[in-house]
Structure 1
Amino acid sequence: MITYEPTKVVKGRVVVDFLAAHPVTDYKAIFDEFPDKQVMMTELPNVWQMFFDGAAPVTRAGVGVIFITPQGDLLPYSFTLGTVCTNNEAKYNALIIGMEITSELKIKALRIYGDSKLVINQLTIEFEIRKQELLPYCRRAQHILEQFLNVKIKHILRYENAKANALASLTITLSLSG
């Protein structure tokens, strides 16, 4: 006659049989008091957020970087690039400048957001770098990334990156008029 037993019963029986065959002879009480309580404490790092964007119309390039501190403060930065470059090179420059700032500030936990799918995916090695002129930018960004203990990079939609985009565009407009 064949009998069926659910898997849970069989697994439980194996554990019981093992414990019965291997009794504990030197029983010691478990203490939840530890002499060095700091070993049990972990501190979550202060996570900063960084939004970046770059724009490169015909003659000038500008970048915008916005930081949000763990306390929720907004820190905007914008820069005019001294050389003519492509739009993707401007976006890489924005990313690199932003990461260099956070590195100098000794920030170890960072969330990076950008609306350039190409830059984000090349950086995370999901896209192949086909234009060789972008390779040094990607390598530099990857090198800086290694300095962070906790970093996450995420592609966001353009409207979610509107402030960094506006900073980059405003920088170009001001540099052209001045």
Structure 2
Amino acid sequence: MPSTYLRSAEIEALSSGTLDKLNLSRQPAQKAIKGQALANFLADHPVPSEWELTEEFPDEEIFLVEILPPWKMYFEGAARRNGAGAGVFFVLPKDNLLPYSFVLTQNCSNNVAEYQALLLGLNMAVEMEIPQLKLYSDSALIIKQIMGEFEVEKAELVPFRDHAGNHLAKIPQTLLHYIPRTKNGPADALAGIAASLAQLDSRPSQVPIYERWVVPLVPLPSEEEADEKMEQEEEALPISTHKSEATD
């Protein structure tokens, strides 16, 4: 027997004794009908017993999410008597390299040049929408000022610190690391080149870098070839014999 469902108005009429004035309509249980239809379909289309369940999906690459390691950014500033420069060196997740060298248009202190290098690198990172970035510098002062561990005593550095903080806030994840100067060689070299070019009256817009070896390389012999050559030289040496005369 199908079920009958009463609406709220019918329930009120039932309680007040005026139910005969309402038109009751029988509403079958839709969920029961759908469930029975599904059971009938499965009964008519059974799964063959020889079929094996598999965990392999033909389009599994669609759901594959590759998590790449963060970008790395090394920065360095260099100040000379008549010029200053900044170097920024990006290391991409798949070990691709992006080196940049900037000639600073104003003479400044070494700390200002360091901040300029940091700001130039962060500006590029924001434009490239880098989600994760590790920053490396051999300036403990700059790193600790950015992290809030050191106070900025010189007033000229305060705007640079604040500007760097605004840029860092635009990158989802950042980590700052202090490294020895020996570990920051590429960025230091880029900054040094820019500072040297800043002292020229007429600076080139581009500095091409070529890989060249002036003296042709002479292939070194392998260990086996070296041993064989040594044996041949020993065989070629003259062997002299000395006869000793018996004395009375």
- 1:98 corresponds, among 103, 121, 130, to 121
1:105 counterpart letter in structure 2 = M
Residue of structure 2 in register with 1:54 after alignment? 77
The TM-score normalised by the length of structure 1 is 0.74
1:163 counterpart letter in structure 2 = P
1:151 and 1:88 map into 2 onto residues whose CA distance is 21
Q: Say which SS state the counterpart of residue 172 (structure 1) adopts.
A: helix
1:79 counterpart letter in structure 2 = F
1:47 counterpart letter in structure 2 = P
**2:118 is the alignment partner of 1:85:** no
**2:171 is the alignment partner of 1:148:** yes
- 2:143 corresponds, among 111, 120, 123, to 120
- 2:192 corresponds, among 165, 169, 172, to 169
Kept in 1: contact 2:82–2:198 (CA 8 A): no
Q: State the percentage of identical aligned residues.
A: 39
Deviations 1:112-155 (A, max 9, x none): 00000100000000101100100000000011000111110001
Structure 1: runs of 5 or more not aligned: 1-40
Aligned pairs, how many?
A: 141
**2:94 is the alignment partner of 1:71:** yes
Q: Cα distance, 1:174 vs. partner?
A: 2.2
- More contact order relative to length (CA 8 Å, sep ≥ 6): 1
Q: Say which SS state the counterpart of residue 120 (structure 2) adopts.
A: helix
Runs of 4+ in structure 1 off by over 4 angstroms are none
1:134 and 1:42 map into 2 onto residues whose CA distance is 42
| Structure number with bigger Rg | 2
1:60 and 1:106 map into 2 onto residues whose CA distance is 31
Structure 2: runs of 5 or more not aligned: 1-63, 203-248
Q: Cα distance, 1:44 vs. partner?
A: 3.4
> Which of the pair is proportionally richer in strand?
1
2:77 counterpart letter in structure 1 = G
1:44 and 1:152 map into 2 onto residues whose CA distance is 18
Residue of structure 2 in register with 1:110 after alignment? 133
C-alpha RMSD over aligned residues: 1.9
